[in-house]
Structure 1
Amino acid sequence: MKTLLLIDGTSYIYRAFHAMAPLTSPTGEPTGALFGVLNMLKNLHIDYPHDYATCVFDAKGPTFRNDMYPDYKATRPPMPDDLRPQIERIQELVADMGWPVLSIAGVEADDVIGSLAVKAEAHGCKVIISTGDKDMAQLVTPNITCINTMNGDVLDEAGVVQKFGVRADQIIDYLTLVGDKVDNVPGVDKVGPKTAAKWLAQYDTLDNIIAHATEFKGKVGEHLQAALSHLPLSKALITIKTDMDFSEHLPNKIDDLLRQEPDWDKLVLRFAELGFKRWLAEAQKKANRTAPNHDAQNDLFGDQSHSSNTTITPKIDIPDLGNHIETHYQAILSQADLASLLMRLQDALQHKQAIALDTETTSLNAMDAQLVGISIAFGAGDAVYIPLGHSMTAAPEQLPMDDTLSVLKPFLENPDLGKIGQNIKYDQHILANYGILLQGVVADTMLLSYVLESHMGHGMDELAMRHLGMETVTYESLCGKGAKQISFADVALDDAVRYAAEDADITWRLNAVMLPQLDEKQRHLYEAIELPVSQVLWQMERTGVLIDKKELDAQSHELGSQLWALEQQAYELAGQPFNLNSPKQLQEILFDKLGISTSGLKKTASGGVSTNEAVLEKLAPDYPLPKLILQNRSLTKLKSTYTDKLPQLIRVDTGRVHTNYAQAVAITGRLASNNPNLQNIPIRTAEGRRVRQAFIAPEGFQIMSADYSQVELRIMAHLSGDETLIDAFEQGQDVHRRTAAEVFHVAPNEVTSEQRRYAKTINFGLIYGMGEYGLANNLEITPFEAKEFINRYFARYPAVAQYMQAAKDRAHEQGFVETEFGRRLYLPDINHKNGNIRAGAERAAINAPMQGTASDLIKLAMIDVAAWLQQTDLRSRLIMQVHDELVLEVADEEMDLVKTKLPELMANVGKLRVPLVAEVGIGANWDEAH
């Protein structure tokens, strides 16, 4: 029998849109759904051989069902803004790929598919329908099968019974009883799938159920009788049309559904425009021609004459390592299996072949997690899984953990055997918990993705779909979610092998596919900054920070007393007790009882007046109660987040707090500290600064803090090349005083403190792309006055104005800007139709290169400082990184040496047009040192 493959393109679009990260093209065009659909179609073509095929999409406008029932689909939310512009693109690209496309007005894609399926079956064809729509189950016959590639469901006649509890010929009646909330089709109230299946098992058809409706007693009988009037309409809406005439749309009948050769020349242009590198590489091979290279860009502030439309020979050759590769996954269960594995590891070591490594554990908290198993991949599709900590029920034949780890340890600790991982810093912690120091890390696919595409998601499942076109086995599919989630240790061995070995396999493939996509600058950023600094972070996390619990306990007690006093003052000001944390009660006190004007204040979604921080700050200068509420909120947050919580996070075995530094988060390259967050401890209040007094050095050590002085202003001078700014820094002048002198036309020694404050606000405001209204708000002046200050500033610093405009222009042209070290800072909203959103992206285009370059510099400093400490065999060590600051524990006898060497190392990590300066402080605790 010939096979006809029918694809529910509309279903594919929504599934791809919600499954993929919000991808964008180099020009900011949303492309996530488009990319996902292409990958799904490619996999479908490989996995389901066919003779004929068509991809069917819903046409624009109403259908005959809307004529039958005006409220049909009326409750559906509007199409997401990021999806709308992709619809037409998807259909065009699918057609260019050689798939026949059908979209017929007045009917739904379901009706086109249903009619084609029935006609094809009547002419002796086997039919496969690829969809995620449950309604399609009504079409299943011995020769018509529905498949769902997202979850692996295959709905043949037996599959329909297993999934729904009814036969395929009962699906229409079943769906009529249940109803369809998504399409706004009413069923029988309170009747769900189980009840519907039970009724149909007893009465066989909906007609019989209706005929016996009076026999149904109680509430369910009442609901059935109440639904009798609309059930015929609901059934008509749910029934897929199967008698369409295709003579107009398929003049050559079935031959119009033959796959065509893709238009490779056109696809080369489309993929280059969309930024689909892997697809572009494949299309270029097939087209055998050169094409626009939208990724080849000059330095951000180099030759501005470069045209993004220049045709050059593509330099990347991305291997195709997707679904077509056969997999060989093996469980290591016996001593013979283990001996064979050790031989393979020895062979990889001798031939300098890197392995991919992954651990399965009991927790995401790396310091506490227990090892469940280790997976190793030697190549694409070639991986093993070693169960070590599964329950005996799940894996009764697993090898003993201690003995197995002891024979693996020499390979894991051998720096000459390259290790590839996905967030391998986590795996290093897990192995360290068992006394294994993992060495030889040569690749981390999470960091590779972060350098390649910082604005996208970096999870392995996302990366597999994006770069390999592969859907992976998810953790939730094996372990469940929420309260019912089981431990991986309890997962059945066969499922565990499939999942864990796939993790290592996919990691190996991702490294092979993504690495060639890095340009020269990105590769240096990845290999010289991101990979090495991950090893420094691992060591810092492992070391932790010593915390004085008694000091925090004392602070918590004092903050509690202050909060109680503030509450009493608030009650007195309000004239009554009330809950300070209740927005509703606060709203009533401020605006009803005290009569504070609500004019110009932000409203809540329900129409009331907001009592958020911004509103209270606006009221605080004129009213004492809002000011007091702000104080209360600040101290409450400080107490709950730090003085109460930090002592709970002190590990008994180390006496320290161990944060996690996340690398692949901010597009600027900044690190994020979490669990606990040590980077957001307030420093503007005395109470906030006091928290730092609890960060102490052990006996025989002191805390040393070193941070870059005005680093982003120095980077602004470097990037803009402004001679006046550069001269100020080269001369070691107070740059804010120098700016004030330039803007106010006075001698530097005549600058007042107020003028210097204005200049400082302008300097830092412009770094963040602040306009006249933002500056006016910060300086509490009129927008006209602010504009005058900005004009005077740019008149004295013309190269800064040129830099800002060049950054915005380049961002609009290519969708990203760059740091001095080649980090791409993508701005998906830079060409957004909403002016406010677009303006925000333009501000980011100005600031991101400075903030990103500062992030790169501090990472380079961490690498150099850690290397120097290790090479000189010092006891001093890095313990924290906070934005532009490094914090160390320094041994007393090493104090003078480190104090001299540390700022020297930090000053020499980058060659800027102005000197880098690091300032050092020392103390018994972090507050004293800062």
Structure 2
Amino acid sequence: MKLMVIDGNSIVNRAFYGVSQNLSTREGLPTNAIFGFVNILLKLLEEEQPEGLAVAFDLKAPTFRHLAYEGYKAQRKGMPEELAVQMPVLKRLLDAMNIRRYELEGWEADDLLGTMARINGEEGGQTVVVTGDKDSLQLITDSTTVKLVSTRMGRTTTRNMTPEVFREEYGFDPIHIIDLKALMGDTSDNIPGVKGIGEKTAMALLAQYPSIDDLYAHLDTVEVKPAARKKLVEGEGDARMSYDLATIRCEAPMDFHPQDTLRQPFHNDELYQLLLELEFSKLIDKLGVRPTSTPVAQAVEETPEIRVEGVYLTGEEQLAQVLPKWQAAQYVVVLPLPNLDGVTVSLSEGDKDWLYDVRSSRYEGDYQAFLAQLFGPGVKKVAHGVKELCEKLLEEGIQGEGFVFDTQLAAYLLDPTAGSYDLSKLSMQYFRKELEESRAWRDEEAFGALSDQVKAQAKWYADNAFIEALYEKLAPQLDELGLTKLLQEMEIPLCSVLANMERRGVLVDKGALSRFGEMLTGRIADTQKEIYAQAGEEFNILSPKQLGHILFEKLGLPPVKKTKTGYSTNAEVLEKLQYQHPIVSLVLEYRQLTKLNSTYVEGLSKVIAPDGRIHTSFQNTVTATGRLSSTEPNLQNIPVRTALGAEMRTMFVARPGWVLVDADYSQIELRLLAHMSGDEAMIQAFRDGVDIHTVTASQVFGVSPDRVTADMRRAAKAVNFGIVYGISPFSLSQDIHVSVAQAKSYMEKYFAHYAGVRAYMDGVVEQGKSQGYVSTLYGRRRWLPELKSSNFNTRSFGERVALNMPIQGTAADIIKLAMIRVEHRLAQEGLQAQLVLQVHDELIVECPQAEADTVARLLTQEMEGVAQLAVPLTAEAKVGQTWAEAH
């Protein structure tokens, strides 16, 4: 059988230091190492497809090596606390995944890996030893491959070391890696080796005699300098002790049978609950785990009866009796059944819980009128996913109103990086203990004995009960953190605005889109011919391997970076090489053209609705900063600064007799930086209405504003916006193509002029450390446990977020409030104009030509009046037949 054995400590260390370094639960438990480990594991399983799988871990107890040599690994620092707390949880996760793990007191994980590989090999199996440490290279045999794992900048790469690969690299057999360490030592394990003998000398010695036994037997005749020979003589004892310490023992006394490691199905419920506890929503979906039980614990008692007075509303007479009760209640919980074919409404009255079930199929009256009353302003409602509910109501011609709480949005505000806010996941997350303690959670047989009607009522009541329980749990937390106003005055009112925008959509000129596609196809073909001419042959331009061969082997360009599969040809590499050969710029252009064609021309064509419009979906629980995102399609990713991007905007048009009015905030993030930092020089520049990039350029380059060139302004613009995003001198140097020292000088001059910005940046990071979070001007929070991490990369990430989130998040809050105000004002003025699109800092309204001037003034007024800052908040509105004309 093919067996994969993993060095658990080695891989978890690489996950901790090199992968996903900015994760923790809302309770503050770091989870980056666990998350990284699982993702590396999934990558390994995909690459190797093993039949058997096992993970070995070290234990704290000293091993026989520590007893033999007191200095063994003595210099190693203890495991960081952020990693130590994750280890027991990782082991629980492996158990839930039904993966065998092995630990043995007095023995290291390496010894267990070697023993498992030996036993499997003796039984005719093939073993893949996975580790990040080269110590295990000695295990390489015809039946054992060592798979080396490395992680850097969040990316994991692997390399398979076979006997052939090893010999090609080292010049001797894998077993003699022990002899190499015996001579040169190993600082990571504090193995001394022979004092004064380094890697170069040791390799030269082993080229003559591949083992220390042979070497010392022929010490008089070995070709080596006299001084080195003397060191070998004096250090023989250390060499032999080091050999012993470096040798992996493949006879650990462990109870191991390869068949025990055959991969098994997950322990579904355990794994699902643990992943929820760790807040790994995306991994739940990726692994495809679901609880095998239905969470009806709060709906079903020990006896098969419903803990609720269930009422089926079948007519308007019954509705007339209960509607006053709903209107008088502090709130009711509403749960729509699919496509609004039914609705359940629940409320508590004294010690009784009432559940009202209304079905369109049995309702003897005007069902749409019932929906209009329920979802009108007269009934205060708690729901889960108000935006989606508003979308369904619009299909019935109803504007949803009266929502006082949204458990989905509340969960998002409390934990904006969770990724998923599904009701069942939140229920498990917040009420897991109650569900585990419930008999109904476990007893599927008892639940199965219930009638279908009772089961249905149980499920509806359970979902309603979960929403109510979440409301009661989350509402006080929002109050405590000052987030209630944000929910009630921004996020919930925005739901109906977004639903209306999605339903309206934006019109697309199919003919223009088709012509644009034809133009792109022609340019792609022309660019392809030019690339082939420069290369002197035809090849697959989109193949990194074939492109690498052309650039670095045939044309002789200097390789910037290599990957495990060959030369890197990513955009970063090509941008560094584009001035060294004309083919590089052509390849970059070819990639841009093909991406535009596939993503937008072909992609947009597929999502144009029968009404000729594109109805993107605005996501309001995705980004950690509070910004909206759009999907199916993503209209926020259309290139902004390129000519082709501008041409893409010509595809989006107004209907005949109408126009588009586009209003865009001017430099909103820099204006917010001025306001939040209180920097007097920056504030004055904005108040005076001067060009901030020109002012910055004059200070950075030491020239008067009238002598600032276009290149100087462009560099200053990169500095201005880079500061907002916490850019480093290295990153700035890459952006504006100067040396790191020059970029650092620019930043120092910037801070010398804008001293208030430097003080603000230092202060916001310190505030984030002390509070554990940063926030926007409107109170939106982003939790930052990364700021207290002992890991430099993790801490640096936290600092960048601390610098950026308050500004970008406040910009997001402002545009949301502007959307609410614009939607309300358009309706208030009785205009036909409709808000149809939001992209970053701009709003697009479609209106009749006759309303254009009125709408342009209205848009500007509402966007500029949404917040009072220390500097003017300015927006400029333009009118055009297409988005490009109005932008």
Query: Is 1:469 equivalent to 2:428 in the alignment?
Result: no
In 1, distance between residues paired with 2:580 and 2:435? 58
Identify which of 856, 861, 866 aligns with 1:909: 866
Whether contact under 8 Å (1:521, 1:821) holds in the other structure is no
Counting only pairs closer than 5 Å after superposition, residues 64-463 of structure 1 correspond to structure 2 as: 84-86=83-85, 234=257, 342=319, 345-361=322-338, 370-371=339-340, 373-379=342-348, 382=353, 384=355, 399-400=361-362, 405-406=367-368, 408-457=370-419, 458-463=421-426
Whether contact under 8 Å (2:517, 2:601) holds in the other structure is yes
Q: Which amino acid aligns with 2:488?
A: E
Q: Which amino acid aligns with 1:526?
A: L
In 2, distance between residues paired with 1:615 and 1:506? 51
CA distance change for structure 1 residues 774 and 738 in 2, over 3 Å: closer, same or farther?
A: same
Whether contact under 8 Å (1:26, 1:816) holds in the other structure is no
SS of residue paired to 1:378: strand
The match for 1:603 is 562
Query: Is 1:684 equivalent to 2:684 in the alignment?
Result: no
SS of residue paired to 2:843: strand
* 1:794-822 deviations in Å (ceiling 9; x for gaps): 12111110001011111222221111111
Identify which of 593, 605, 609 aligns with 1:651: 609
Q: Which amino acid aligns with 1:628?
A: L
In 2, distance between residues paired with 1:855 and 1:742? 30
The match for 1:574 is 535
* 1:165-187 deviations in Å (ceiling 9; x for gaps): xxxxxxxxxxxxxxxx99x9999
In 2, distance between residues paired with 1:707 and 1:420? 35
The match for 1:44 is none
Query: Is 1:564 equivalent to 2:565 in the alignment?
Result: no
* 1:74-116 deviations in Å (ceiling 9; x for gaps): xxxxxx999843369989xxxxxxxxxxxxxxxx99xxxxxxx
Query: Is 1:553 equivalent to 2:552 in the alignment?
Result: no
CA distance change for structure 1 residues 764 and 236 in 2, over 3 Å: closer, same or farther?
A: closer
Greater mean deviation of Cα atoms: 710-719 or 512-521:
512-521
Identify which of 425, 442, 462 aligns with 1:502: 462
* 1:128-147 deviations in Å (ceiling 9; x for gaps): xxx969899xxxxxxxxxxx
Whether contact under 8 Å (1:650, 1:656) holds in the other structure is yes
The match for 1:53 is none
CA distance change for structure 1 residues 786 and 910 in 2, over 3 Å: closer, same or farther?
A: same
* 1:600-640 deviations in Å (ceiling 9; x for gaps): x2322x25112222222222221222322221111111111
The match for 1:639 is 597
In 1, distance between residues paired with 2:766 and 2:584? 43
In 2, distance between residues paired with 1:232 and 1:794? 64
Whether contact under 8 Å (1:720, 1:799) holds in the other structure is yes
In 1, distance between residues paired with 2:33 and 2:456? 30
For structure 1, the residue ranges without an aligned partner over 5 or more in a row are 1-20, 35-57, 65-79, 92-107, 110-130, 137-180, 191-229, 239-273, 277-320, 362-369, 389-397, 479-490
In 1, distance between residues paired with 2:309 and 2:508? 43
In 1, distance between residues paired with 2:311 and 2:296? 31
In 1, distance between residues paired with 2:763 and 2:572? 33
CA distance change for structure 1 residues 556 and 235 in 2, over 3 Å: closer, same or farther?
A: closer
Whether contact under 8 Å (1:613, 1:630) holds in the other structure is yes
Identify which of 474, 486, 497 aligns with 1:514: 474
In 1, distance between residues paired with 2:122 and 2:333? 52
Whether contact under 8 Å (1:711, 1:916) holds in the other structure is yes
Whether contact under 8 Å (1:566, 1:628) holds in the other structure is yes
Number of residue pairs aligned between Structure 1 and Structure 2:
636
The match for 1:627 is 585
How far the C-alpha of 1:686 sits from its partner, in A, is 1.8
How far the C-alpha of 1:884 sits from its partner, in A, is 0.5
Identify which of 692, 696, 700 aligns with 1:743: 700
In 2, distance between residues paired with 1:754 and 1:811? 36
Q: Which amino acid aligns with 1:631?
A: E
Identify which of 876, 882, 887 aligns with 1:925: 882
Whether contact under 8 Å (2:314, 2:362) holds in the other structure is no
Whether contact under 8 Å (1:383, 1:505) holds in the other structure is no
How far the C-alpha of 1:836 sits from its partner, in A, is 2.4
* 1:189-220 deviations in Å (ceiling 9; x for gaps): 99xxxxxxxxxxxxxxxxxxxxxxxxxxxxxx
* 1:734-792 deviations in Å (ceiling 9; x for gaps): 11122223334443333333332332222111111112222222222222222222222
The match for 2:627 is 670
Q: Which amino acid aligns with 1:788?
A: S
How far the C-alpha of 1:382 sits from its partner, in A, is 4.8
Whether contact under 8 Å (1:385, 1:500) holds in the other structure is no
In 2, distance between residues paired with 1:493 and 1:560? 59
CA distance change for structure 1 residues 832 and 607 in 2, over 3 Å: closer, same or farther?
A: farther
How far the C-alpha of 1:888 sits from its partner, in A, is 0.6
CA distance change for structure 1 residues 791 and 672 in 2, over 3 Å: closer, same or farther?
A: same
Whether contact under 8 Å (2:630, 2:636) holds in the other structure is yes
For structure 2, the residue ranges without an aligned partner over 5 or more in a row are 1-21, 36-56, 64-78, 101-115, 126-252, 262-276, 280-294, 442-450
Whether contact under 8 Å (2:316, 2:365) holds in the other structure is no
Greater mean deviation of Cα atoms: 371-380 or 706-715:
371-380
How far the C-alpha of 1:401 sits from its partner, in A, is 7.5
In 2, distance between residues paired with 1:777 and 1:608? 24
SS of residue paired to 2:871: coil
SS of residue paired to 2:411: helix
How far the C-alpha of 1:594 sits from its partner, in A, is 2.4
How far the C-alpha of 1:558 sits from its partner, in A, is 1.5
The match for 1:538 is 499
Whether contact under 8 Å (2:331, 2:347) holds in the other structure is yes
Query: Is 1:726 equivalent to 2:683 in the alignment?
Result: yes
How far the C-alpha of 1:373 sits from its partner, in A, is 4.4
In 1, distance between residues paired with 2:383 and 2:24? 24
How far the C-alpha of 1:386 sits from its partner, in A, is 5.0
The match for 2:786 is 829
* 1:384-442 deviations in Å (ceiling 9; x for gaps): 58586xxxxxxxxx934796734632433321112222212112222333444433222
In 2, distance between residues paired with 1:864 and 1:342? 35
Q: Which amino acid aligns with 2:495?
A: S
SS of residue paired to 2:727: coil
Whether contact under 8 Å (1:329, 1:384) holds in the other structure is no
- Cα RMSD (Å): 4.3
How far the C-alpha of 1:709 sits from its partner, in A, is 0.4
SS of residue paired to 1:679: helix
Q: Which amino acid aligns with 1:713?
A: L
In 2, distance between residues paired with 1:187 and 1:351? 78
CA distance change for structure 1 residues 445 and 82 in 2, over 3 Å: closer, same or farther?
A: farther
SS of residue paired to 1:914: coil
Whether contact under 8 Å (1:26, 1:814) holds in the other structure is no
CA distance change for structure 1 residues 372 and 633 in 2, over 3 Å: closer, same or farther?
A: farther
Whether contact under 8 Å (2:391, 2:499) holds in the other structure is yes
How far the C-alpha of 1:727 sits from its partner, in A, is 0.5
Percent identical pairs in the alignment equals 34
Whether contact under 8 Å (1:701, 1:891) holds in the other structure is yes
SS of residue paired to 1:786: helix
The match for 1:393 is none
In 2, distance between residues paired with 1:848 and 1:334? 48
CA distance change for structure 1 residues 609 and 874 in 2, over 3 Å: closer, same or farther?
A: same
In 1, distance between residues paired with 2:260 and 2:655? 74
CA distance change for structure 1 residues 27 and 505 in 2, over 3 Å: closer, same or farther?
A: closer
TM-score, scaled to structure 1: 0.62
SS of residue paired to 2:483: helix
SS of residue paired to 2:562: coil
Whether contact under 8 Å (1:333, 1:387) holds in the other structure is no
The match for 1:282 is none
Whether contact under 8 Å (2:315, 2:364) holds in the other structure is no
Whether contact under 8 Å (1:26, 1:815) holds in the other structure is no
The match for 1:802 is 759
SS of residue paired to 2:345: strand
In 2, distance between residues paired with 1:562 and 1:343? 67
Whether contact under 8 Å (1:464, 1:470) holds in the other structure is no
Q: Which amino acid aligns with 1:378?
A: L
